[in-house]
């Protein structure tokens, strides 16, 4: 065959998984013992739906105490108000001293301040009681559960993981070499592994800034433009993207030989019909061809059949020639 330099941009297909764009870890704002668990993994929940409860005995006692403090403070305000009004009338008639009037006014202000404090404590106690219920912060699907009934949990300890409804991502772990050689500017084709007929397009949304030292890969999140119903959370998908275009020579697999453990091909000198081995640099292996990125030029004659019978300096007869 006669070599020819062509533009080469094969596609790379990798397997990833569908994940929610936003995932939230839900936890209680206070510590306590779980008395009820109302949601399971895989269950779809609505915003503000109760997912779990803590034993509220302590918070209920604090609420009752706060309510009693408010009632006591209100009584003190009524008493101080009545005393102040009497002193105000007496002062107007000249039957009391300015000092007694000022003391009554100060007592009223103090009683009102104590009432404000009691009401604030009541509001705090009501909030603490509401914190014994864990509610979903958005519509979504429970993807993980980290606690059971009877377990004592700490404040902010994750209890559930919630995958919010809405946009979905296809997440891939890509080798650094592939990441630098794949053209990711345009839409990437995403297909369901179990049913390749289910397809959509996606765009690169996020690239991990570091390489994972364990897998030597980079995490890439592809935002799906549309999410077919079959692409549920956790579904395996194939993502296909074209490599960046490069100039190569495509030769059949039958051309490949080796020299000193490195790839090579047999080249024929058209003037003398003598063969010689020529080292090559392989850019990529495909199903039918080898993409030679270095070592060959256009117009060279390469042996495409019978390479196992040749030796350096051998004179051959060309039976047929094809141009590719």
Q: Tell me 309's DSSP state.
A: G
The answer to whether 1 and 320 have CB atoms below 8 angstroms apart is no
Show the tokens assigned to 224.
């799906």
Q: How many CA atoms lie within 13 A of 174 on its CB side?
A: 27
Sheet holding 32-37, edge to edge: 133-135, 50-54, 32-37, 152-153
Question: What are phi and psi for residue 43, nearest 5 degrees?
Answer: -80, 140
d(CA 101, CA 88): 7
Residue of 219, 221, 25 lying closest to 136 (CA atoms): 25
Question: CA angle 149-33-44, nearest 5°?
Answer: 45
Query: What pLDDT score was predicted for residue 322?
Result: 57
What distances in angstroms separate CA 293 from CA 73, 248, 297, one per listed residue?
A: 87, 5, 10
Query: What pLDDT score was predicted for residue 214?
Result: 87
Q: What is the pLDDT along the chain (324 residues), one digit of tens a residue?
A: 889 999 888 888 899 999 999 999 999 999 999 999 999 999 999 999 999 999 999 999 999 999 999 999 999 999 999 999 999 999 888 888 899 999 999 999 999 999 999 999 999 999 999 999 999 999 999 999 999 999 999 999 999 999 999 999 999 998 887 777 777 777 889 999 999 999 999 999 998 888 888 888 999 999 999 999 999 999 999 999 888 788 899 999 989 998 888 999 999 988 888 999 999 999 888 888 899 989 899 999 999 888 888 888 888 887 765 555
Residue of 270, 272, 271, 263 lying closest to 307 (CA atoms): 263
Query: What pLDDT score was predicted for residue 281?
Result: 92
Name residue, tokens 């690239």: 207
pTM of the model: 0.66
Can you name the residues that pair with 273 across neighbouring β-strands? Answer: none
CA torsion, ordered 174, 179, 185, 189, to nearest 10 deg: -40
Q: How many residues does the chain have?
A: 324
Q: At what angle do helices 57-93 and 98-130 cross, to 10 degrees?
A: 160
Name residue, tokens 């936003």: 22
Residue of 231, 271, 235, 250 lying closest to 323 (CA atoms): 250
The answer to whether 267 and 275 have CB atoms below 8 angstroms apart is yes
The answer to whether 42 and 162 have CB atoms below 8 angstroms apart is no
DSSP 219-280: EEEEEESS--TTS-TT-EEEEEEEBPPEEEEEEEGGG-EEETTEEEEEEEETTTTEEEEEE-
Tell me if residue 29 falls in helix, strand or coil: coil
């Amino acid at each position: 065959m006669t070599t020819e330099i062509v533009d080469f941009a094969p596609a790379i297909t990798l397997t990833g998984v569908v994940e929610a764009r936003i995932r939230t870890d839900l936890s209680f704002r206070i510590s306590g013992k779980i008395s009820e668990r109302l949601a399971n993994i895989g269950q779809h929940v609505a915003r503000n739906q109760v997912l779990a409860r803590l034993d509220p005995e302590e918070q209920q006692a604090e609420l009752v105490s706060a309510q009693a403090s408010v009632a006591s403070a209100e009584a003190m305000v009524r008493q101080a108000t009545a005393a102040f009004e009497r002193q105000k009338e007496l002062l107007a008639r000249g039957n009391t001293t300015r000092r007694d009037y000022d003391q009554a006014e100060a007592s009223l202000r103090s009683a009102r301040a104590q009432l404000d404090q009691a009401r604030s404590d009541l509001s705090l106690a009501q909030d603490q009681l509401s914190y014994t219920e864990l509610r979903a912060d958005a519509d979504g699907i429970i993807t993980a559960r980290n606690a059971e009934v009877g377990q004592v949990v700490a404040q902010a300890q994750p209890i559930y993981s919630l995958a919010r409804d809405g946009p979905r991502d296809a997440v891939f772990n890509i080798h650094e070499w592939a990441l630098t050689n794949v053209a990711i500017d345009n839409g990437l084709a995403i297909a369901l592994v179990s049913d390749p007929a289910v397809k959509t397009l996606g765009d690169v949304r996020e690239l991990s800034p570091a390489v994972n030292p364990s897998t030597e890969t980079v995490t890439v999140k592809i935002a799906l433009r549309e999410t077919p119903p079959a692409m549920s959370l956790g579904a395996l998908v194939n993502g296909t993207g074209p490599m960046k275009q490069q100039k190569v020579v495509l030769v059949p697999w039958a051309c490949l030989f080796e020299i000193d453990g490195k790839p090579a091909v047999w080249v024929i000198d058209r003037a003398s019909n003598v063969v010689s081995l020529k080292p090559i640099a392989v850019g990529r292996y495909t199903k039918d061809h080898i993409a030679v990125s270095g070592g060959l030029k256009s117009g060279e004659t390469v042996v495409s059949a019978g390479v196992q019978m040749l030796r350096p300096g051998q004179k051959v007869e060309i039976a047929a020639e094809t141009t590719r």
